[in-house]
Structure 1
Amino acid sequence: MGPMIENSDRANDIALVPGSIASHVSCLLVKLGQVSFRLQEAALAPLNLRVRHFSVLQALADRGPSVQLELGRYLRIDPATMAAVLDDLGRVDAVSRERAPEDRRRYIVTLTPEGQGLLSRAVAAIEAVDATFRAALQHQPESDPLKGLRILAADPALAAAFDATGK
Structure 2
Amino acid sequence: MSVTDRTVHRCGPLLDHLGRLTRLRGESVLAPLGLRPRHLVALTVLRDTGCSTQQALAASLAMDGTNVVGLLNDLEGDNLIERRRSPEDRRRHVVELTEAGLERLAKAELALAAVEDEVLAKLDPEQRKTLYELLHLAASNHTVDCTTAAADC
TM-score by length of 1: 0.73
SS at match of 1:104: coil
Q: Does 1:97 align with 2:83?
A: yes
Deviation of 1:135 after TM superposition, in Å, equals 1.2
Q: Distance in 1 between matches of 2:7 and 2:22?
A: 19
Deviation of 1:79 after TM superposition, in Å, equals 1.8
Contact persistence 1:60–1:111 (CA under 8 A):
yes
TM-score by length of 2: 0.79
Instruction: Determine which structure has greater relative contact order: mean sequence separation of CA pairs < 8 Å that are 6+ residues apart, divided by chain length.
Output: 2
Q: Distance in 2 between matches of 1:43 and 1:132?
A: 12
Q: Deviations over 1:94-115 (max 9, x none)?
A: 0001121222222100001111
Q: Percent identity?
A: 33
Q: Distance in 2 between matches of 1:81 and 1:53?
A: 12
Q: Does 1:28 align with 2:14?
A: yes
Q: Does 1:83 align with 2:83?
A: no
Q: Distance in 2 between matches of 1:36 and 1:77?
A: 22
1:66 alignment partner, one of 43, 52, 61 = 52
Contact persistence 1:21–1:27 (CA under 8 A):
no
Mind listing any 5+ residue stretches in structure 2 that lack a counterpart?
Answer: 1-5, 145-153
Mind listing any 5+ residue stretches in structure 1 that lack a counterpart?
Answer: 1-19, 161-167
The 10-residue stretch of structure 1 (27-36 or 46-55) with the greater mean CA deviation from structure 2: 27-36
Q: Which has the larger radius of gyration?
A: 1
Aligned counterpart, 2:105:
119
Partner amino acid, structure 1, of 2:26:
Q
Q: In the comparison of the two structures, how many residue pairs are matched? A: 138
Runs (4 or more) in structure 1 with deviation over 3 Å come to 20-23
2:95 alignment partner, one of 109, 113, 132 = 109
Q: Deviations over 1:53-92 (max 9, x none)?
A: 1111111111101111111211223322221111111001
SS at match of 2:90: strand
Aligned counterpart, 2:151:
none
